[in-house]
């Protein structure tokens, strides 16, 4: 049972805090009012392969109440007002289990993330591992999103959750060189090598870094269209020239080496100019780094 300590000496400051949300009388305690949420994806093109959440998508929700002085409490692994409740998209509506209820005129900070994980063992270092094969649903399941809404109150109604991308996206474009004959391959396999595929996320701040104890690995990029591929990468710096991208076409392997800096919430692009001679493949990093949010 939760206990509330009422300090009469702070009655006036509490009234001022509630006034900012336009406080009102509490509902009948026998019929508590559930919080409702409106999750929004980052700006176009949205989540890795979509512009809106889809039926069956799941997010995690934490709710932290403000203290008697109107100050937000820290997000903890347990003991919050809500601890990793799961919200499921049911064709546009979100079902939250267990439900999160408002309490009188309390004010809350709401934290949320995608995709949902049932086993959250740390707030400061939540471990998130990419899908090694990002074709199909693997790309979106690797796209870690995070949101925070501060000072949510009951009178404001549905709580908006504006998500941001916390990892990096690498777009790889295959370009025909002057001596490359035929059309661009529709069945090429593109791999990203030499990056650590495990992230440590601070669920309170949204900060992310690679797991220093995890080895480097390989991810298979998703094909968007012939000649266009994308992969989600954990933010990290590759300061040495290493084999980074491999393109396999008709059993011929084009292996490209490069240094690279993957930024959190950033979208990077590589243009790979194909040649009939694998030794003459060119790589261009010129196009870009853009804000993915």
Per DSSP, what are the bridge partners of residue 83? none
pLDDT-derived band at 44, boundaries 50, 70, 90 = very low
Q: What is the pLDDT of residues 141-170, one digit of tens each?
A: 999 999 999 999 999 999 999 999 999 999
CB atoms within 10 A of CB 194: 17
13 vs 34, more confident: 34
Residue 252: predicted pLDDT:
81
pLDDT-derived band at 1, boundaries 50, 70, 90 = very low
Domains of the chain: 8-165 (2.60.40.2620), 168-291 (2.60.40.2630)
235, two tokens? 């933010």
Section 22-43 average pLDDT: 73
27, two tokens? 């509902």
Inform me whether the pLDDT recorded for 18 exceeds 60: no
d(CA 89, CA 39): 10
Residue 23: predicted pLDDT:
40
d(CA 126, CA 199): 8
Q: What is the pLDDT of residues 215-261, one digit of tens each?
A: 999 999 999 998 999 999 999 999 988 899 999 988 888 888 888 99
Residue 26: predicted pLDDT:
46
72, two tokens? 């937000």
Enumerate the H helices of the chain as residue ranges: 11-19, 138-141
What is the end-to-end Cα distance of the chain in Å, rounded?
41
3-state SS class at 14 = helix
pLDDT-derived band at 17, boundaries 50, 70, 90 = very low
pLDDT-derived band at 291, boundaries 50, 70, 90 = confident
Tell me if 89 sits within 8 A of 50, measured CB to CB: no
Inform me whether the pLDDT recorded for 192 exceeds 50: yes
Is residue 228 classed exposed, middle or buried when 0-12, 13-18 and 19+ CB atoms within 10 A define those classes? middle
Residue 47: predicted pLDDT:
63
Tally of helices (H runs) and strands (E runs) in the chain:
2, 20
Task: Please state the three-class secondary structure of 22-61 as a single string.
Answer: CCCCCCCCCCCCECCEEEECCCCCCCCCCCCCCCCCEEEE
Handedness of CA 231, 233, 238, 242 (dihedral sign): negative
Sheet hosting strand 236-249, strand order edge to edge? 217-220, 189-195, 236-249, 252-262
Which of 17-21, 129-133, 171-175, 274-278 has the least mean pLDDT?
A: 17-21
The structure's pTM equals: 0.86
Tell me if 144 sits within 8 A of 243, measured CB to CB: no
d(CA 81, CA 102): 9
Nearest to 221, CA basis, from 256, 170, 182, 264 = 170
């Amino acid at each position: 049972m939760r206990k509330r300590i009422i300090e009469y000496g702070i009655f006036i400051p509490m009234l001022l805090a509630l006034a900012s949300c336009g406080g009102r009388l509490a509902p009948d305690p026998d019929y508590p009012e559930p919080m409702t949420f409106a999750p929004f994806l980052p700006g176009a093109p949205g989540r890795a392969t979509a512009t809106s959440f889809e039926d069956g998508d799941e997010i995690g929700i934490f709710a932290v109440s403000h203290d008697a002085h109107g100050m937000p409490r820290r997000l903890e692994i347990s003991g919050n007002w809500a601890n990793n409740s799961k919200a499921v998209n049911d064709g546009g509506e979100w079902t939250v289990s267990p439900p999160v209820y408002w309490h009188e005129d309390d004010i809350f900070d709401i934290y949320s993330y995608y995709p949902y994980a049932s086993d959250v063992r740390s707030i400061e270092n939540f471990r998130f591992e990419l899908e090694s094969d990002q074709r199909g649903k693997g790309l979106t399941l690797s796209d870690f999103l995070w949101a925070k809404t501060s000072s949510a109150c009951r009178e404001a109604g549905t709580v908006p959750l504006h998500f941001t991308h916390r990892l990096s996206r690498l777009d790889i474009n295959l370009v025909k060189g002057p001596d490359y004959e035929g059309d661009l391959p529709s069945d090429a396999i593109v791999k990203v090598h030499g990056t650590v595929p495990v992230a440590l996320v601070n669920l309170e701040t949204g900060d992310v870094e690679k797991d220093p104890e995890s080895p480097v690995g390989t991810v298979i990029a998703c094909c968007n269209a012939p000649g266009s591929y994308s992969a989600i990468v954990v933010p990290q710096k590759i300061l040495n020239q290493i084999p980074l991208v491999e393109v396999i076409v008709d059993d011929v392997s084009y292996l490209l080496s490069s240094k690279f800096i993957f930024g959190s919430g950033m979208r990077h692009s590589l243009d790979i100019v194909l040649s009939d001679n694998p030794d003459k493949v060119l790589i261009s990093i010129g196009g870009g780094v853009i804000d993915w949010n």
